[in-house]
Amino acid sequence: MATTAELDRVSMVVLRYMRGPVFVLIVVYAIGITGMALIPGRDADGNVEYMNLFHSFYFFTYTATTTGFGEIPSEFTDEQRLWAILCLYMGVVAWLYAIGSIFRLVQNPHFLLALREHRFAKKVRRIQHPFYIICGFGDTGSLLARGLSDHWMRAVIIDIDPERIKALGLRDYRVSMPGLCADPANPKHLVDAGVQMPNCRGVVILTVDDEANARIAVMSRLLNPVIHILCRSTTKQHIKHLCSLGHVTIINPFEIFSELISMAITAPRLHNLNACLVHNPRVKLGQPITVPTGNWIICGYGRMGKWLYRQFIRNGIKPVIIDPNAGKVKGAATVINEHANSATLLKAGLVNAVGVVAGTDNDHDNLSILMCVKAIKPDAFTIARQNRHENQIAFDAASANLVLQSSLTTARRVLKHLISPQVQQFVDYLREQGEDICELAVERLKSKIGDKPPHLWHCRINDEEASAASEYLQSGGKLNLGQIRKDPHDLDGLIACIPLTIKRDGQCTMLPGDDAQVMLNDEILFCGTEHSEVILSATVNNAYTLDYLLSGRDKPRGYLFRWFDDRSHTTITQL
């Protein structure tokens, strides 16, 4: 016998709410039909006759439903007429009860919830391509979904806020992204979202509650011990707990932003390239910003302020801290335990400072600090923390040099991981190699894409993602990067992209040249334009295009044309 959990939840709700009306209808029909069959009637000759059960059912059907068809085998006796009256009233009452129950059912919140969950699970089960589960559709989840859509990557979304799921239905994503209004920490909802499906590539947990994120991560790990989990977390205790689950990538936006600031100070070209790779619209490739070193003021010593402080100290900068609750800070030039305003900024030495961080958890306070700095020292470098996405226009008007938007920083870092882990490995490699190698990589990329925004994509050489190239290699052919990057419209030219890394047998080769061999199961990270991704995808998946690029000859495609082509080649060979 199936357990309750195994049965369809919609069917269970329907049965629970409709079993009463259905039982009443059955009883009324049984009584009416039996009575009509037992009451004697008269035929046209006055003989006694009884209705059979079929005629009784036929009569009761059009009577109980008030159809009033009127066909009767013969004229009724008074006893039959009396019973017909009773049948009519019993049938009408029973049907009114049943119809009323149906109306109550379709308005019942439990039924509507079960119906939504059923439809959501059905949509998820139909997904044939790889997909991710996004838990939390706030600012971060929304930005991440947009980024995934731009890269034709699919996702399934769960959020407890009904308004956010309604907003999801209005988005014009390139790919379908089903959403469910439910608690992601409930294992039933994670199963409905496909956490146990083989094509589910990972769970991205992005709610603003670290405790809730930890619960969702634990449930996901229990339901699928091998799935990759990416989890937003900003507190030490939760980060330590998440690390113990294994195969979890922690996303701490404050730590990431402080690393980016450190990168901007010590490696401005790499900071510029990294910003372009994550589609920062304020940055142009090859035009790095310069973060000055000297006297800095940090307004707000919360999570962001502490991370920035560590990076400043690491780079030899001793900032002045303004925060009413900062207490003693080891290594700081001065700590002012007051709120940041014009007076405290002047007291902190704004006149001689090169930069100010407006890093409180209140957007109004941060905007006020930026206005004060602009009024007192307009040429100071400013870094602002933007806590709410809807305040974007105000922060744009404030014209800070760098803005930390926690949701945007988190979404960009997650997107880099989902496109390919090789992206961050490539950035780390350039950080180790120094600015000269980074400049060469930027120049090489600019020579291909010009001023267009760089577009990243990942290509795995196998039957699923590069069928033609995989078949060619399995037949003993040899390929190199220069050959698959040839332009089908100009065999002497290359499409607008460069390979950033090749991953083979767990080892990454950075910035491979055109003569680098391509092998089966290679994972190649490309950077170029969106159009070049389309062309390269056609090359590695279309045997005729690949053959044309390798041989320079357009191979006939039809059987008859191939026969003529083979015959003409045979004739030429014989001559």
For residue range 166-210, list pLDDT tens digits in order.
999 888 898 989 999 999 999 999 999 999 999 999 999 999 888
Share of the chain above pLDDT 90, in %: 38
Return the pLDDT at 565: 67
| Residue 403 pLDDT class (50, 70, 90 cuts) | confident
Burial class (CB in 10 A: 0-12, 13-18, 19+), 88: middle
Closest by CA position to 385, among listed 353, 363, 413: 363
Q: Of all residues in the chain, what percent are helix, strand and coil, respectively (each to 5)?
A: 50, 15, 30
Which residues are CB-neighbours of 557 under 8 A, at least 6 positions away?
544
> Radius of gyration of the chain from Cα atoms?
35
**pLDDT of 156 over the 70 cut:** yes
- Least reliable range by pLDDT among 179-188, 238-247, 433-442: 238-247
Return the pLDDT at 512: 92
First to last CA, the chain: 79
Return the pLDDT at 498: 92
Whole-angstrom distance, CA of residue 373 vs CA of residue 283:
23
Structure tokens at 392: 């974007």
**pLDDT of 4 over the 90 cut:** no
Return the pLDDT at 552: 81
Burial class (CB in 10 A: 0-12, 13-18, 19+), 347: middle
| Residue 70 pLDDT class (50, 70, 90 cuts) | low
Structure tokens at 40: 């004697």
Which residues are CB-neighbours of 543 under 8 A, at least 6 positions away?
468, 471, 472
Return the pLDDT at 381: 92
Which residues are CB-neighbours of 2 under 8 A, at least 6 positions away?
none
Mean pLDDT in residue range 539-543: 91
Return the pLDDT at 2: 42
- Least reliable range by pLDDT among 60-69, 277-286, 339-348: 60-69
Whole-angstrom distance, CA of residue 309 vs CA of residue 261:
11
**pLDDT of 575 over the 60 cut:** no
Return the pLDDT at 142: 92
Pairwise pLDDT comparison (77 vs 365), residue with the higher score: 365
Could you report the per-residue pLDDT of 31-54, keeping only the tens digit for each? 989 998 898 888 777 788 888 888
Could you report the per-residue pLDDT of 542-568, keeping only the tens digit for each? 988 888 888 887 776 666 666 666 666
Whole-angstrom distance, CA of residue 222 vs CA of residue 227:
10
**Bridge partners of 203?**
133, 229
**pLDDT of 5 over the 60 cut:** no
Q: How far is CA 203 from the centre of its chain?
A: 9
Return the pLDDT at 573: 55
Whole-angstrom distance, CA of residue 374 vs CA of residue 353:
13
Return the pLDDT at 558: 67
Return the pLDDT at 572: 56
Closest by CA position to 278, among listed 396, 419, 458: 419
Could you report the per-residue pLDDT of 254-281, keeping only the tens digit for each? 888 888 888 888 888 999 998 888 888 7
Pairing mode, strands 320-322 and 334-336: parallel
Which residues are CB-neighbours of 144 under 8 A, at least 6 positions away?
134, 155, 204, 206, 410, 411, 414, 415
**pLDDT of 3 over the 50 cut:** no
Return the pLDDT at 1: 41
Cα dihedral value 399, 401, 403, 409, nearest 10 = 140
Helix (H) / strand (E) containing 460:
strand 455-460
When the pLDDT of each residue in the chain is averaged and rounded to a whole number, the result is 87
Q: How many CA atoms lie within 13 A of 93 on its CB side?
A: 9
Could you report the per-residue pLDDT of 73-129, keeping only the tens digit for each? 677 888 888 988 888 888 889 889 999 988 888 888 888 888 888 899 999 999 999
| Residue 64 pLDDT class (50, 70, 90 cuts) | confident
pTM: 0.76
